[in-house]
A and B are shown apart, each in its own frame.
Chain A
Amino acid sequence: MSLPRGSVPRILNKMAVKLTKEIAKKIMEVKGEARGIHFKNDAEFILKEKGKEGLAMVEKELEVLGYPIIYKKISQFDFYPIGLRALSLLAIQKTFAWSDDEIKELCKYAMNFSWVIKLLMKYFSSIEKVAQETSKTWSQYFTVGQAFVKEYDLEKKYAIIVIKDFRLHPVYCRCFEGVVPGVLNMVIASKKIVCQEIECVFNGGKEHKFLIKWQ
């Protein structure tokens, strides 16, 4: 088990969300694509939590930024600029002044909704299988970066997942902290699965490294 390299910044909190056209433009310059299911998930969660009006507010925010998203028209199977997803998350966080935990919840919600995840459910038979299929699963979602399980110990009940070549925005790090327990929850019948980023490219790290512990 690798030791964490310094503390991972928690820059995204209610007070710290800063989203301007310039920031948006910079984010949009990141190369790569993500599946439309991410946007669908965002929309479904907003609809559940804030209703249609909430979703309209997010769409308005994105429109102001100059990168409008009509969530309804997004195809969950199609690929969209990866930066647009980061903007979607940031716009949501900004609009509703949500904390990191709420962003994690939003990303975890994908487990309930994502059709792509349902297609990948065949890999959720065991930790070994998940570990084996992580890279493949990643490529189902993103055209950039790569993910893999670096190590896991079923007896000590932990795993470390690494995401390489993926530098988009710290909001995505929080998102992964929500998604990963969601995925693992499909394999481990535990109500207490905790995921924490222990190394981050935005904090001098070489890669993103997530430590997952369960009981």
Chain B
Amino acid sequence: MAVENKEAEKIATLLEDLDSLENYIRDLFNFLPLPVFLLSPAKIILEVNPAFEKITGYGIEESIGKSVEDIFNAEEIESLIKETLDKEFIKAKAISLTTKSGIKIPVSASTILRKGEEGDVVGYFFSLFNLTDIKKKENELINTQKSLLNILEDTETARKEVEMERNKTLSIVNNFTDGLLVFDGKGKLSLINPQAEKFFNVKKNDVIGCSVAELSSFPEFPPLVEILGKEIKEVFREELIIKEHLNLEVSSVLMMSEKKRIETLVILHNITREKTIERMKTEFVSLAAHQLRTPLSAIKWTLRMLLDGDLGQITKEQREFIEKSYISNERMINLINDLLDVTRIEEGRYVYKPVLADIREMVQFVVKSYKEEIAKKKIKFSFKKPAGKMPKVLVDEEKIGVAIENLLNNSIRYTPSGGEVSITLKSDKKEVQLSVKDSGVGVPKDQTERIFTKFFRAPNVIRLDTEGSGLGLFITKNIIEAHGGKIWFESEPNKGSIFHFTLPIKEN
């Protein structure tokens, strides 16, 4: 009896252990975060854990007894089972399952063959790993890779385009008839084209990377350095004479990016031929003018003598004709004088004899000579000058007189009868300013840029008055600028103009 009780106790203990073991395995099975299932050799799902229920959406009752092909891709699962049979286990093979709601989920499946005591196949354990997130990341990576490849392709295309563009630009630069120099942001020469090499008689490799100061050591460069300055300032069409028979026109352009100078382009245009032609032209005009002036002077004095009665009495009718001839001759002489002035200016022979002079007196002198003309045209004239003493200016009186006269003459000539002309003088510590204002025809807007050029006469002026050489303002501008002054104007067609010039006040 005692033995039986003992046996019963042992059995009870074993049963308790079995229950505990069952609970332990069940808890473990339920806890497993990976979906796990057991498959029969007939490909029927025999057991699943909660993670499997979660991933497939099929409840435990729906899953058990279900053909595995109802959930997994038939070909994939068949292949996996076959591999498992061959190798007894498979690690991480990508397959896909279809959830109850029809969503396809990529999973990584691992399997192990389950065998009976006699070695016969009794099933397969499957564990799954959801690859959705990984696939998503993978797809993102693939997309990113594709995008990067596209960008790379675009960049490569852009690079080729840039290279083509660069080659094109280089070809243009190399074949450009103008000399080109490019200085980088640090003022170092980064490009010199063949034409510029020829101008300065240098080799590209010797000068690239040189600063402006360093370029001064090359024999042909100093005149350019003098124009540009060490900082390479911006210049526009400055004349540069490198050597005899080589005249260049220099322009420099600062290339800015975000208010910072990145490069400076220096353009050297060969104007030797133009200068030669200009010189020849000037020489011709000068010669012609000189040759004309002598007979014109002779005509002038002969007519003067006739008018003065030195050659006998003349009739009233004769006087009228001779007076007209005299005036025409005077105009011719003035034109010749203007032409000669222009040639002198262009040849640099327009000699200046500076003296300290009172500009007010100079103006009054000119005004006086036009008094009759002003009265004749009934022009309301006024001369506004400072009440106090004005500083004297260091000028060539004769030339400044010509400048004032040219401005006043234009104002009177192009202001209709009864109009207004005024001269205003003012000064400060640095300069004196003269302004000649009129209520004349004004300068057409589209002609303003040409007003100070040689032989220019605006169309409205030509219609009014056929006289005038178109040289007055050119000469005036040269005179003022030769004195270190500035000249400019404001004008409105049919309302009038106002011309200003300034002259610097200098110590004698």
Contacts and interface: CB of A to CB of B under 8 A. Distances in A.
A128 to B, nearest CB: 11
A92 to B, nearest CB: 18
B36 to A, nearest CB: 13
Given A75-B15, A185-B44, A189-B43, A125 B122 contact: yes
Given A75-B19, A77-B18, A125-B121, A189 B42 contact: yes
Interface string A103-131: 00000010110010010011111100000
Interface string A78-120: 1000000000000000000000000000000101100100100
A124 B22 contact: no
Given A77-B18, A122-B116, A112 B64 contact: yes
Nearest to B29: A118
A17 interface: no
Main SS class of interface, A? loop
B43 to A, nearest CB: 6
B68 to A, nearest CB: 9
B123 A78 contact: no
Contacts of B41: 125-126
Question: Is the interface on chain B under 10, 10 to 19, 20 to 34, or 35 or more residues?
Answer: 20 to 34
A59 B500 CA distance: 122
Determine which residue in B38, B40, B60 has the highest number of CB atoms from chain A within 10 A of its CB, and name it: B40
B161 interface: no
Contacts, number: 67
Contacts of A182: 65
B65 A75 contact: no
B462 to A, nearest CB: 110
B16 interface: yes
A78 B15 contact: yes
A170 to B, nearest CB: 26
Interface in B39-73: 40-44, 46-47, 60-61, 64-67, 69
Contact of A121 (B46, B66, B69): B46
Interface in B87-144: 114, 116, 120-123
B117 to A, nearest CB: 8
Given A126-B41, A187-B42, A121 B123 contact: yes
A186 interface: yes
Given A111-B64, A121-B122, A182-B65, A76 B22 contact: yes
A125 B120 contact: yes
Contacts of A123: 122
B480 to A, nearest CB: 111
A77 B16 CA distance: 9
A162 interface: no
Contacts of B16: 75
Interface string A182-215: 1001111100000000000000000000000000
Interface string B11-26: 0000110110010001
Contacts of B42: 124-126, 186-189
B383 to A, nearest CB: 120
B44 A121 contact: no
Contacts of A185: 44, 65
A188 B41 CA distance: 10
Contacts of A78: 15
Nearest to B18: A77
B60 A186 contact: no
Closest 4 CB pairs of A and B: A122-B122, A189-B67, A185-B65, A125-B41
Given A75-B16, A111-B64, 11 more contacts: A78-B15, A109-B61, A118-B47, A121-B38, A122-B116, A124-B42, A124-B44, A125-B41, A125-B121, A186-B65, A188-B44
